[in-house]
Amino acid sequence: MQGKIAILMGSESDRETMSSAETTLKEFGIECDVLIMSAHRNPDKVKEFSSKARENGYKAIICGAGYAAHLAGVVASHTTLPVLAVPIDSSSLKGIDSLYASVMMPSGIPVAVFTIGKTGAKNAAIFAVEMFAVSDSETESRLKKMRDGWN
């Protein structure tokens, strides 16, 4: 399988939540890089990474962020790769603020948004696996095996 997935998070405190995305991708044999970069604290770093992600071999980017959760939107504005957003429960609003920030993207800059927290991170990774499975029969077979195990 060619290509890899980037998992970005706004801060180190998001790592626990996003670890389920990394674990899931590794279970499927999909290479991933985990990076910390904030849309607010490191906007130039986010722009640089996002604008070169395709040429650096990435096939999709999973972004986890809390509070205003602008990371996925900023990433999406600098790449044509699929961007998957995981809202993180890091405020007194329990992640609802992050969910709204992720969902409310302007026309032309789509972001796929998943549920808040670890379940969302795992589902974002499974969604990325499904994208790989479109053109990779080995990945499709692994995906079917996982789902058959649910029954």
pLDDT of the residue at 3: 81
Which band of pLDDT confidence, cut at 50, 70 and 90, is reported for residue 151? low
Residue 1 pLDDT > 80: no
- Domains (ranges, CATH) in the chain? 4-148 (3.40.50.1970)
Do 98 and 88 contact (CB within 8 A), yes or no?
A: yes
- Tell me: is residue 11 an annotated ligand-binding position: yes
- Tell me: is residue 98 an annotated ligand-binding position: no
**How confident is the model over 68-104, as pLDDT tens digits?**
899 999 999 999 999 999 999 988 899 999 999 999 9
* Other Cβ atoms within 10 Å of 100 Cβ, number: 14
Which band of pLDDT confidence, cut at 50, 70 and 90, is reported for residue 150? confident
pTM above 0.85, yes or no: yes
